[in-house]
């Protein structure tokens, strides 16, 4: 099982067993994920079928075989998690992998200043691999190198304009809508399942986000959301957020109760 990133591919991009990549996809695969010729990723077609694809050159990929995605969530979830102190991140990686996360971005925020050693990244990747195997997933989530939160926001704001993304920032205290309500609305808006949904959700460190970080996130079109009235620990919040996302997309019956 490998760390494979997913990519939604439109029907016109499939040609004779090949995928012709758009400029945005090329940027994403080569610059953001740093894939090289011969590296593999998952292509998702308009019917939701997954395919193993291999990068041929900068602008095309070859389709290798279909993938049975039965234990994967129908939505792609990127978690941006401000690094907690100590080894708390190990548990975040393990538990959110079990819950179906697609990508984890460890963030350095204004109130987390410790930069972890490179060995930490290898350790988190190992933990993600074990957890993915344990929970019988088809892919191992990708874990990126730790980056400043502000850098993540600046790079995202350019890319997302192309997508029907949902972006949330979890904010303890305050009057934000509950994440569950926001997710249910979004799910209803896409009830025909035609769009490949990508969710990006950020959780803060022990000391919380600074007001400036929340403002910056809002400017990058992140919607502030609540996870309930109690203050959760930095390591609990990502797990709760992932559980809500998985529950909304894997249960079908909430629609009737609306
Ligand atoms: N020390 C801060 C709380 C930090 S909790 C304070 O006293 O305000 C760590 C992170 O978990 C927060 O930045 C937020 O992203 C998330 N979080 C915790 N509880 C939450 C809640 N009830 N709703 C939304 N996010 C929450």
Is 141 in the same domain as 103?
A: yes
d(CA 166, CA 45): 20
**Coil vs helix vs strand at 243:** helix
Both 59 and 89 in a single domain?
no
**Neighbouring residues of 184: CB distance < 8 A, sequence distance ≥ 6:** 248, 254, 258
Residues 206, 136 share a domain: yes
Residue 139 belongs to a domain with what CATH number? 3.40.1280.10
pTM over 0.75: yes
Q: Are residues 111 and 175 in the same domain?
A: yes
Determine, yes or no, domain membership for 256. Answer: no
Mutate to test the pocket of ligand 1, among 92, 170, 207, 226 (most ligand atoms within 8 A of CB): 170
Cα dihedral 198→122→150→203 (10° resolution): 60
Using the atom order of ligand 1, give the atom closest to the CA of residue 225.
Answer: 24
Whether residue 23 sits in one domain with residue 88: no
The verdict on 196 and 215 lying in the same domain is yes
Along the 258 residues of the chain, how does pLDDT read in single tens digits?
A: 566 788 888 889 999 999 999 999 999 899 888 899 999 998 988 777 889 999 999 899 999 999 888 899 988 899 999 998 888 999 999 999 999 999 999 999 999 867 788 899 999 999 999 999 999 998 899 999 999 999 999 887 555 444 557 999 999 998 999 999 999 988 887 766 556 788 999 999 999 999 999 999 999 999 999 999 999 999 999 999 999 999 999 987 554 444
Cβ–ligand 1 contact at 204 (below 6 Å): yes
Q: What's the structural domain count of the chain? A: 2
60 and 81 part of one domain: no
Inside any domain, residue 191: yes
CA distance 236 to 81: 11
Full residue range of the structural domain in which residue 28 is found: 6-67
d(CA 67, CA 43): 10
């Amino acid at each position: 099982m490998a760390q494979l990133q997913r990519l939604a591919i439109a029907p016109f991009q499939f040609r004779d067993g090949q995928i012709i990549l758009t400029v945005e996809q090329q940027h994403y695969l080569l610059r953001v994920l740093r894939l090289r010729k011969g590296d593999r990723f998952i292509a998702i077609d308009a019917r939701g079928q997954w395919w193993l694809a291999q990068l041929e050159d900068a602008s095309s990929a070859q389709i290798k075989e279909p993938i049975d995605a039965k234990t994967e969530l129908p939505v792609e979830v990127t978690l941006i998690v401000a690094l907690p102190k100590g080894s708390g991140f190990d548990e975040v990686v393990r538990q959110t992998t079990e819950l179906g996360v697609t990508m984890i971005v460890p963030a350095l925020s204004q109130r987390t200043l410790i930069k972890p050693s490179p060995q930490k990244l290898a350790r988190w990747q190992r933990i993600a691999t074990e957890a993915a195997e344990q929970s019988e997933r088809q892919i191992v989530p990708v874990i990126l190198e730790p980056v400043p939160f502000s850098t993540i926001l600046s790079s995202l704001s350019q890319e997302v304009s192309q997508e029907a993304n949902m972006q949330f920032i979890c904010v303890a205290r305050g009057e934000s809508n509950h994440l569950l309500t926001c997710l249910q609305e979004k799910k209803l808006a896409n009830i025909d399942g035609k769009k490949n949904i990508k969710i990006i959700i950020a959780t803060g460190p022990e000391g919380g986000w600074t007001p400036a970080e929340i403002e910056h996130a809002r400017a990058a079109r992140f919607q502030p959301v609540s996870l309930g009235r109690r203050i959760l620990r930095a390591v609990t919040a990502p797990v709760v957020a992932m559980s809500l996302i998985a529950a909304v997309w894997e249960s079908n019956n909430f629609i009737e109760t609306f």
